[in-house]
Amino acid sequence: MHKLFIILALMLTPYILWACEAENPNEISDRSILTDFHSPRDGIIIAQWNIGHFSQGKNTSSIITGSNFEAATMEYQSIIDQISADLFSINEYSVIFGTDEVGLKHRTDDLIFSKYMYHYIGMQKQYSCNSLFSNYELIETNETNYHCNEGVRISHNPILKAEDYYYIESNVEINGIWVKLITTHLAFDTNNEEVARNQIEELIMRYTNDNFVIMCGDWNVKNINTFDLFKSAGYEMANHSKFGDLATRGGAVIDNIIVKGLRIENVKIIDSSLSDHKPLVVKLILPEQTTIQNSKSKRFQTNWISIDGVKYENRPHRNGIYVSRHKKKIKKR
C-alpha cells in the first residue's frame, strides 16, 4: 500500500505543480518573459529603457509618493528582475525614486537596481539623465557633451537646449574582450532632423577606430532611415534591422541598441506601461577570443578626432558619480 501511494504521488506531481502555477497566470508570464534569451545562456543580455523619470507612463516627471510607493517599487523591481540584463542602459533616470508613507526619500539605485554591482549615474539636465547599470566593472567612465550641439536651439520647445543632451562612455571587459559601452539620449527637433543626425555622425566618428562597441539609447530620430548612418559605418542594429521596425514609444521607432564587432542573436520589446517608452532587450554573441587581437594595454587609448577643425575628446563631467559596490566607494569625477 505504501509503495502504491508513492507511485500515485509521483504520477500526480506534474499536475499538482501545473495547478499551483495556473493559479497565478501573471507569474507564469513573468517567468517566461525572456525564456528564449536566458536558456541556454551563451551570450550577454543588454537592455535599453527610457524609464521616463518613473512617471508610470504619464509622460511627465514625477516622484512616487505615499500609498503608491510600495506597489510602484514592486512593479519596477519586477520588470528589472525579469529582464535580468548583464548591462542596463537607462535614459530619463531620476536619482530619487520616491518618498514612502512616512516621508523618507529612497534612492533609485538602492531600491530598484540594487542587484547591480556597478553603476554610473550621469547629470540631470532638464529631461536628460543617462545612467548605466552593470554586472561588469565600468572602467574609465566619462560624460561627454556633443560638440555639434553647442549653441543649438530646439525650435519646437524654447525651454529645451540641445547642449543638455550628452552621452556616457565606459569600458567593460567581457570574456576577455574590451568593449566600448555608450548610453545616450539625443537632442531632437521636430522641425529639423539634422539635430539628431549630427549627433549620430559625431558618435560614428568618435568610435571609428574601436573594434568592439555597444551603443544604447533613445535616439529621437524623426525619420527611421536616419539609423542607416550606422549601417553604412559597419554597425548592426537591434531596431530598424532584420528584426523589423519595432515601435518603442507609441508608433515611433526611436530606441535602439547598436553594435560593432558583436552579433545580435535575438531582440525583444517588453510590453510595459511603466514608462511612455518600452524596454528593448537584446541578446549578444561575442566573437571567439582566439579570433581577436584586443590587448589590455590598449583598452584606454584615446582616439583623438578632429570634428569641424576642433580637436575632440571625451571629458569627464566633474559632477558625474561612478559607484562601485564592490569597492564600496563613490568616486566623483
The domain that contains 174 carries what CATH number? 3.60.10.10
Question: And the C-alpha cell for 184?
Answer: 545616450
Residue 15 lies in a domain: no
- 205 Rama class: left (phi>0) / alpha (psi -120 to 50) / beta: alpha
Q: Supply the DSSP symbol for 251.
A: T
Residue 25 lies in a domain: no
Q: In terms of residue numbers, what domain contains 304?
A: 34-327
Q: Are strands 44-50 and 280-285 parallel, antiparallel or unpaired?
A: antiparallel
pLDDT given for residue 34 in this prediction: 72
Residue 84 lies in a domain: yes
Distance CA 153, CA 156 (A): 9
Asked if residue 199 lies in contact with residue 148, where contact means CB atoms within 8 angstroms, the answer is yes
The tally of CA atoms less than 13 A away on the side-chain side of residue 175 is 15
> C-alpha distances in angstroms, 326 versus 80, 135, 182, 319, 329?
21, 11, 22, 21, 8
> Facing residues of 168 across strands?
143, 183
Total number of domains constituting the chain: 1
Residue 22 lies in a domain: no
Question: And the C-alpha cell for 161?
Answer: 537646449
pLDDT given for residue 147 in this prediction: 96
The residue type of 165 is: Y
pLDDT given for residue 4 in this prediction: 54
pLDDT, averaged in runs of 10, over the chain (333 residues): 52 43 33 62 90 80 81 94 96 94 93 96 92 97 96 88 95 95 96 95 98 98 96 97 95 97 95 94 81 44 39 38 37 41
Asked if residue 146 lies in contact with residue 166, where contact means CB atoms within 8 angstroms, the answer is yes
Asked if residue 199 lies in contact with residue 149, where contact means CB atoms within 8 angstroms, the answer is yes
Residue 100 lies in a domain: yes
Residues in CB range of 40: below 8 A, 6 or more apart? none
Element (H, E) at 137: none
Closest CA to 130 of 90, 161, 100: 90
pLDDT given for residue 233 in this prediction: 97
Residue 333 lies in a domain: no
SS3 325: coil
Asked if residue 166 lies in contact with residue 128, where contact means CB atoms within 8 angstroms, the answer is yes
Task: Identify the residue whose cell numbers are 507569474.
Answer: 27
Distance CA 51, CA 115 (A): 18
Q: What is the b/e burial string over 286-304, where b = at least 16 CB atoms within 10 angstroms of the residue's CB?
A: beeeeeeebeeeeeeeeee
Question: And the C-alpha cell for 316?
Answer: 569627464
Residue 259 lies in a domain: yes
Asked if residue 187 lies in contact with residue 197, where contact means CB atoms within 8 angstroms, the answer is no
Residue 110 lies in a domain: yes
Question: And the C-alpha cell for 196?
Answer: 539628431
Q: Are strands 213-218 and 236-237 parallel, antiparallel or unpaired?
A: unpaired
pLDDT given for residue 2 in this prediction: 56
Cis peptide before 158 (omega within 30 of 0): no
Task: Identify the residue whose cell numbers are 509618493.
Answer: 65
Distance CA 168, CA 145 (A): 9
